[in-house]
Structure formats: C-alpha cells, structure tokens
C-alpha cells in the first residue's frame, strides 16, 4: 500500500488541531509516540496486505482511531506487529465490512492538551 498511516493521520491531526484551537494544542512528545505507532500500523498493514486506512478523532475525548482494512488477519506469535499495536492501544477491535474484509480498529489517546 503506497499510502502510509502517518500521511493520513498527520492530515487529520492538522484539521483537528485547528478545530480544538485555541483551547487545546498538540503535545510534541505525544505526537512523536503517534509517529512510532504509525510505523507499527504500516508494518501490520504490509503483513496483512491491507487495502485501506481510515483515521478519526473523537471530538469529545480526543481519542484517535485508526482502522486498517485487510482481506485476512492472522497472528503467529507475540513478535507480530499486531501484538505491538495491541500493547500500545487503549483498545482494539475487529469487524467485517460489507465486502467481507476485516476492519481492525486501534484506539490511542489523543495528542492534545488543554492550555492553562
């Protein structure tokens, strides 16, 4: 897949940051952690032959959801990218889309913090 997680997530973060301003601003350290998270997402997507990404920001609690659509999901051992993502995610889930593909959702904390 030519598109990378960070490419999409960065666009969404920029848009959300403009919506949250002036009361909230991105925390640099949290953004760096999200970049690492995206590297794991890209590895997972490559392993699973992913066909698309979707990224959403919950406007109420600022949580970020990254969805990866794959024809099949398999996990062989704890060294797989899925386990790395599961460990750093607040929660994750699976669902089937209308085409029969698997959509894996990973939810991570938002990067914004309130201004005092």
| Three-state SS annotation for the chain | CCCCHHHHHHHHHHHHHHHHCCCEEECHHHHHHHHHHHHHHHHHHHHCCCCEEEEEECCCCCCEEEEEEECCCCCCCCCCHHHHHHHHCCEEEEEECCCCCEEEEEEECCCEEECC
Query: Which pLDDT belongs to residue 18?
Result: 95
Specify the pTM.
0.91
Query: Which pLDDT belongs to residue 1?
Result: 64
Q: What is the pLDDT of residues 73-91, one digit of tens each?
A: 988 888 888 988 999 999 9
Q: What is the pLDDT of residues 23-54, one digit of tens each?
A: 999 999 999 999 999 999 999 999 999 999 99
CB 9 within 8 A of CB 55: yes
Q: What is the pLDDT of residues 87-106, one digit of tens each?
A: 999 999 999 999 999 999 99
């Amino acid at each position: 897949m030519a598109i990378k997680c960070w490419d999409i997530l960065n666009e969404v973060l920029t848009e959300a940051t403009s919506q949250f301003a002036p009361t909230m601003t991105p925390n640099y350290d949290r953004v760096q952690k999200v970049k690492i998270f995206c590297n794991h997402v890209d590895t997972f997507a490559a392993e699973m032959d992913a066909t698309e990404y979707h990224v959403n920001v919950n406007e109420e609690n600022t949580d970020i959801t990254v969805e990866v659509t794959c024809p099949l999901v398999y996990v062989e051992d704890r060294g797989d990218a899925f386990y790395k993502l599961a460990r750093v995610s607040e929660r994750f889930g699976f669902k089937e889309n209308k085409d029969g593909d698997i959509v894996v959702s990973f939810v991570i904390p938002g990067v914004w913090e309130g201004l005092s």
